[in-house]
């Protein structure tokens, strides 16, 4: 079975981020139903040295957006991290999904062998496209979406595995 870079990147990230929207919507509804200030959950962390929920969402979307752009041979746009509410976080995720959906399979033809170089925490990183996608982009997106899920589940939002995986 052959799988394209587009299918392994854009399709996977769009699905995962779409599921993240559902998770964030459930969290907002949980706050409303239980008279909880949404800022409590938006700023919640699993441990003091970990990013809060808002930052988990921001990083997941940044990685997906930058990954898709770089695999398509484009330089990713920078977006400020200013979201402080569930509606703002959901809008951010929707915006990244739209950007990913604007990419085409043709833009990613040959991306597996393309060299991708960027700066991360002051260090230059270079990957071939395949390694970049499979060892950097997808694990990072999944890590930060999973952590967002865990923060909300830990704080009482009724979530289950189907919320993370979505429907088939």
Determine the distance from the C-alpha atom of residue 152 to the mean position of all C-alpha atoms in its chain, rounded to a whole number: 16
pTM of the full structure: 0.95
pLDDT tens for the 168 residues of the chain, in order: 789 999 999 999 999 999 999 999 999 999 999 999 999 999 999 999 999 999 999 999 999 999 999 999 998 888 899 999 999 999 999 999 999 999 999 999 998 899 999 988 999 999 999 999 999 999 999 999 999 999 999 999 999 999 999 988
Residue partners of 116: CB distance under 8 A and separation at least 6: 70, 71, 126, 127, 128, 129, 132
Q: CATH fold of 5-165, please?
A: 1.20.120
Decide: helix, strand or coil at residue 76: coil
């Amino acid at each position: 079975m052959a799988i394209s870079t587009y299918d392994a990147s854009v399709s996977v990230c769009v699905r995962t981020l779409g599921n993240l929207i559902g998770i964030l919507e459930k969290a907002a509804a949980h706050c409303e139903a239980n008279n909880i200030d949404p800022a409590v959950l938006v700023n919640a962390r699993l441990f003091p040295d970990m990013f809060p929920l808002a930052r988990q969402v921001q990083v997941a979307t940044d990685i997906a957006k930058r990954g898709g752009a770089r695999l398509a041979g484009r330089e990713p746009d920078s977006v400020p991290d200013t979201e402080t509410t569930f509606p703002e976080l959901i809008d951010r995720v929707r915006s990244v999904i739209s950007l990913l959906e604007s990419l085409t399979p043709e833009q990613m033809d040959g991306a597996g062998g393309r060299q991708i170089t960027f700066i991360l925490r002051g260090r230059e990183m270079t990957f071939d496209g395949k390694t970049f996608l499979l060892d950097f982009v997808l694990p990072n997106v999944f890590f930060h979406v999973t952590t967002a899920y865990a923060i909300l589940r830990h704080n009482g939002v009724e979530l289950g595995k189907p919320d993370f995986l979505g429907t088939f």
